[in-house]
Structure 1
Amino acid sequence: MSTELSGSTALVTGATSGIGRATAFSLAALGADVVLSGRNEERGRQAVKEIRAAGGSALFIASDLGDEASARGLARQATEQAGPVDILVNNAGIFPFGPTDRTTGEDFDEVFAVNVKAPYFLVAELAPAMAARGRGAIVNVTTMVAGLGMDGMSLYGASKAALVLLTKSWAAEYGPRGVRVNAVSPGPTRTEGTAVMGDALDNLAAAGPAQRTGTPEEIAAAITYLATDRASFVHGAVLAADGGRTAV
């Protein structure tokens, strides 16, 4: 096991499956003490068990990240249980697809609460302490549809476009004090969550140079890079890990 991130504490949201789970394993493999957060306690505890079995350090905190209070509460619990958070990965998100005219106010509020409000207040709670220590890394997980108009993805894309702007704003705000803020923009990735897309996922992927879907581990590798000092000169960037889908 690498010691590259030894002595660092990482908080990964949406860490019970898919990209978040793969990221938690990747950071733990580099020596970070990882706090996994998510809604499914059974899957969260299983992930912690597997990380520990592999020689890593991890704990799980259940949170639905549906409002400001839950975001701030998670940040405080993580700090109390694992120590000051050095790496924050804002991965938790929901992605309902469908026509704009069938979107309800409740749908709109829920998507923006999880995809925008939760990252916003996690950063509000954790970034000042990182800045006071003079170091830290925040990685936001966005999506290629944050900058690519696609039928049925208006609400999801808009919420992630907000996160892209926040990434740049936070880089300007906290970068001068040692906190790097960046984002990873995944393309079509095969996870438990995207399984419902069926052939549509493969069709999206086929239009890119890679001509295949990505894996959670491939996205996690991009996130992990931005979380380490290997990316020490990278601030406010949005790293596309999409098989080249947005390049053509």
Structure 2
Amino acid sequence: MNFARRFEDHGVLITGGARGIGEATARRLAAEGARVLIADVDADQAARTAESIPGAESIGCDVADRTAVETAVAYAVERFGTLDVLVNNAFSCSPDTPLLEDQPDDTWYRDLDICLTGAFRCARAAVPHLAASGRGAIVNIGSVNAEQSFGNHAYSAAKAGLASLTRTLAADLSPRGVRVNQINPGTIRTRAWAGREAGLEALSRVYPLGRVGEPEDIAAAAAFLASRDAAWVTGTTLRVDGGLLAVNTAFAQAVGED
């Protein structure tokens, strides 16, 4: 597929970029001319992914580590001469215990640290360079869990907090020319669903558009929000969820069966 070259001469940093949504976003932005730094806690997989994307580079980075984040940002600027786009995609999603009172503190803190505080760390380190570029954009990858209950208490709370952070950062950074937006995906076919294809098939029936999402669906939205096509868009949360939150499919089916 041929794409527009909206990111020619742009430097891009994507956290959690080794697989899934992050990898698809790296491929999409690179296809549009960007030079992309894939930052991931799995440094080996990040390197393998970067090797398969023209113009991409990789670095091991744990967004829970401020020094690692600052090192990744500095490396992107050194290699590309600019940093124009930050995509905060790294996440942690811990399973809930059957009883809330058995949920340990460490899993709660980890999900918030990676999903929410990690995005803040990356933004804090990147902002001076994003502002200097004159076309800086931050795209945060959230979740429909931020808006409706789908389980995973800590992850959901973190993604809701990320939506709030998106708005406050947008307000704070707009005078410096940096736009900040969020994408809330629904169910996406990633390696987290490996071996559970039957579950994905069942889930597809509750989506008004009749399927679960693909990483490329989110990558396309990220490319829009990061580009100058969205030059007058900041502080927004864009649902890319196949209509999940707009339509109560189960209710409609139940009424239809009545």
Q: Distance in 1 between matches of 2:58 and 2:210?
A: 36
**SS of residue paired to 1:218:** helix
Q: Distance in 2 between matches of 1:235 and 1:49?
A: 33
Cα distance, 1:176 vs. partner? 2.5
Q: Distance in 1 between matches of 2:199 and 2:154?
A: 18
* Unmatched tracts of structure 2, length 5 or more: 248-258
Q: Map Cα deviations across residues 66-106 of structure 1 (whole Å, 9 max, x no partner).
A: 23332223222222233221000000111122133332111
* Unmatched tracts of structure 1, length 5 or more: none
Match of 1:91 in 2: 89
Instruction: Kindly indicate whether the alpha-carbon contact (under 8 Å) linking 2:83 and 2:133 is maintained by their aligned counterparts in 1.
Output: no
Q: Map Cα deviations across residues 114-154 of structure 1 (whole Å, 9 max, x no partner).
A: 1111110111111133224432010000000111023x321
Cα distance, 1:242 vs. partner? 0.7
**Worse-matched range after superposition: 80-89 or 19-28:** 80-89
1:112 equivalent in alignment to 2:112? yes
1:158 equivalent in alignment to 2:160? no
Instruction: Kindly indicate whether the alpha-carbon contact (under 8 Å) linking 1:208 and 1:246 is maintained by their aligned counterparts in 2.
Output: no
**SS of residue paired to 1:247:** coil
**SS of residue paired to 2:56:** strand
Match of 1:128 in 2: 128
2:43 is aligned, of 41, 44, 50, to: 41
TM-score, L = length of structure 1: 0.91
Quick one: structure 1 residues 220 and 159, their matched pair in 2 at CA, closer, same or farther if it must change by over 3 Å?
Answer: same
**SS of residue paired to 2:83:** coil
Quick one: structure 1 residues 227 and 239, their matched pair in 2 at CA, closer, same or farther if it must change by over 3 Å?
Answer: same
Q: Distance in 1 between matches of 2:66 and 2:202?
A: 37
**Worse-matched range after superposition: 121-130 or 201-210:** 201-210
Q: Distance in 2 between matches of 1:236 and 1:69?
A: 27
Cα distance, 1:47 vs. partner? 1.6
Q: Distance in 2 between matches of 1:45 and 1:68?
A: 21
The one-letter amino acid paired with 1:5 is F
Instruction: Kindly indicate whether the alpha-carbon contact (under 8 Å) linking 2:82 and 2:133 is maintained by their aligned counterparts in 1.
Output: no
Match of 1:193 in 2: 192
1:222 equivalent in alignment to 2:221? yes
Cα distance, 1:194 vs. partner? 3.7
TM-score, L = length of structure 2: 0.88
The one-letter amino acid paired with 1:36 is I
Match of 1:76 in 2: 74
1:101 equivalent in alignment to 2:101? yes
Match of 1:235 in 2: 234
Q: Distance in 2 between matches of 1:101 and 1:16?
A: 35
